[in-house]
Amino acid sequence: MLHIHPNARTTPTVCAEIARSTEASGTVARRYGISTETVRKWRKRGAADCLDRSARPHRLPWKANQEERVVVCTLRRVTNFPLDDLISWSSTSCPTSTVTASGAS
């Protein structure tokens, strides 16, 4: 299923129209309320590459280990906090660790 952000100006259909357009970049940019750089980007990709793609990163920069997952899940269950609120609370309430891989700092 295609999920388009409500404020998105360039849907896959619009991107394909931009890629096929022969009008000046400035004219197309004004019509759709986007920059001329965006027009050039979609023209360079071509109409065939105007598919909706996920913005999700291919790899997560950090992955919790089993112990961390247990702690987070327990805290969420006990507090009924959503994850964002739990992160916000813990970053202001929990002291920063001073232990490093080589020992105490």
Tokens 């027009």 locate to 39
- Per-residue confidence of the chain (105 residues) as pLDDT tens digits? 567 777 777 788 888 899 999 999 999 999 999 999 999 988 998 888 877 666 677 777 777 888 888 888 888 889 888 888 887 877 777 666 655 555 555
Q: How far is CA 65 from CA 2, 47, 69, 72, 75, in A?
A: 33, 43, 6, 11, 16
3-state class (DSSP) for residue 103: strand
